[in-house]
Structure 1
């Protein structure tokens, strides 16, 4: 960024702010990375794709992009597969996904799908004493997830 034309940097800053990410926000650096190589048309097209894929309103798409600006850099195939899984298979509401878009940055095969199946299994077999939501489970670090799952299993046995 240090070697970038100052006018281009100003344009990137303005674009990031239009996405709803203020300069002082922790996500501002990610917003700059997200828009660095995209023009306004490509950003608008990606936001439209997000709205169509996740059935989001303009406001929901704005919320999601402001919370996870790097969604603009994700491939359409990746976004489509995560939408199909999270909405159709897991049963999450599009509104919930818009408010917790960090989920869309997690690996489908490495985190999202395995945790769904583990949670589904332990609930179906009565190995979970309390209600634990998928969104809570998917946000846990790997070590915490394994420890809690082992604790729940031990308590149920």
Structure 2
């Protein structure tokens, strides 16, 4: 198991090694190789890029192929993120598509397109922000300019796409 974890490119002394061990414990060597190939194909990563991603987030291998495909379609096709962007921030693959990635994208996009948030704000920072802090940083400061934003964001978290999330 330790050998498989090290094979993921995670050094023994790193804080990610325990996550690599958990991943290695849950997947056979063959499954790891299969998932790695699928990640490379789905996210258009080279061997080196896949190695970087796994060293930062070995849990990326634990997602189902369908889950990885849906995240790839959303992140690359819908959001237009570059594979290298995802490679450098592989933790993005561990967040719920419906519960976090999509709602925060809608919220941030709404704020940007309505001039309430600078266009240089990084999507990953919005996604990585905790559930408690996200509304404090992104929703509440705009309650006067966008009074329905909190309700619309909550609806998006439930899987709905509010009509007020209008994009120009």
Superposed pair shares fold, TM > 0.5: yes
Partner of 1:30: 19
Q: Tell me the residue number matched to 1:5.
A: none
SS at 2:132's partner residue? Answer: helix
Return the alpha-carbon distance in structure 1 between the equivalents of residues 141 and 129 of structure 2.
Answer: 15
Among 56, 69, 72, which residue is 1:83 paired with?
72
Gaps of 5+ in 1: 1-11
Matched with 2:39 is 50
2:122 pairs, out of 97, 120, 133, with 133
- In the alignment, structure 2 segments of 5+ residues that lack a partner are 147-168
Root-mean-square deviation (Å): 1.7
Report the CA distance between 1:155 and its aligned residue: 8.4
Structure 2 residue aligned with 1:97: 86
Comparing 43-52 and 147-156, the one that deviates more: 147-156
Task: Provide the TM-score with structure 1 as the length reference.
Answer: 0.86
Say which is worse superposed, 141-150 or 109-118, in terms of deviation: 141-150
CA contact (8 A) 1:126 1:156 kept: no
Tell me the SS of whatever aligns to 1:142: coil
* Number of the residue aligned with 1:8: none
**How big is the shift at 1:102?**
0.4
